[in-house]
Amino acid sequence: GAVGINRMHRKARAAIKVAQRHGFVLVRWKHHLVFRHPSGVTAVAGKSPSDRRELLNFESDLKKMLDRI
């Protein structure tokens, strides 16, 4: 079955908070975390980020996506 957000990997919860801070909404989390921004931009992150820079890189990617719109 589906895993509740509270039982997700701690780094996945951190990615959700980062995305929400930039206005993205979590729309799906089956195999990856899939976020959508009200402008229509979609962002995808791994459910269990592997390295310590992953979260910083994800936030950087979100900022770049939003700069393009």
Assessment of whether the complete model's pTM goes beyond 0.75: yes
* Residues 36, 10: Cα–Cα separation, whole Å: 21
How confident is the model over 42-62, as pLDDT tens digits? 999 988 767 889 899 999 999
Task: Kindly tell me if the per-residue pLDDT of 36 is higher than 60.
Answer: yes
CB atoms within 10 A of CB 49: 19
Give every CB contact of residue 37 below 8 A, 6+ residues apart in sequence. 22, 23, 24, 25, 43, 65, 66, 69
